[in-house]
Chain A
């Protein structure tokens, strides 16, 4: 079974600074998808960024980028120029890619990010 680990329960960053959120996962599969989701106090989960494991290039979405280290099974999220609106819980998630596989997401426990003005 696949597992996703987010070992830091909380982090804090100064507005306009850069912060990196860590995530590791365990799988025996060679192809899969990885995601970062944001959950603000409204509870609505929002997709931040996605990465296909077979792509070597790290995904980037505006101020958000990932550092995907497949051999180390590490998938960290970097938020540049942090904004007050970035304060939320962030979840790392894994999804199988194999044919016929359930497309459910397996989530880590999340990390609470606070942004100091």
Chain B
């Protein structure tokens, strides 16, 4: 079947506007992760959903960032009042479970540019 998909592929917004980034995980995958890749940096963990458990939000950089996962499938990452330092590639990954052989499959990411 299809892999992890993300939309939009690219998003340009003005400082202070809100943005929503969407992730469609692989069907049946219970775990979903959001990472942020800033220029010259590695991937930084943002948030993690596993089944019906409460999400691990420990990586969210500020209260302007939030995410939800509806029906255990699609996830939306929302950034309110965007700042220039939010410019980055936002990557989503999903996995069938959380064991080592449950590989995290990544989407192509959304490149966010805040002017």
Contact = CB atoms under 8 A, between A and B. Distances in A.
Check if A and B associate.
Answer: yes
Contact of A33 (B89, B100, B107): B100
B91 A45 contact: yes
B16 interface: no
Contact of A104 (B33, B42, B91, B107): B33
Interface string B15-49: 00000000000000001010100001111110010
Contacts of A47: 103-104
A106 B42 CA distance: 9
Interface residues of A, number: 24
A45 to B, nearest CB: 4
B58 interface: yes
Contact of B48 (A42, A43, A91, A102): A102
B42 A4 contact: yes
A105 B107 CA distance: 15
Contact of B45 (A46, A97, A106, A108): A106
B108 A108 contact: no
Nearest to B99: A103
Contacts of B45: 104-106
A105 B104 contact: yes
B106 A103 contact: no
A106 B100 CA distance: 14
B100 A43 contact: no
Interface of A: 4, 6, 33, 42-47, 50, 52, 91, 93, 95, 97, 102-110
Interface of B: 31, 33, 35, 40-45, 48, 50, 56, 58-59, 89, 91, 93, 95, 98, 100, 103-104, 106-109, 111
7 contacts: A44-B109, A45-B43, A46-B106, A103-B98, A104-B59, A105-B35, A105-B43
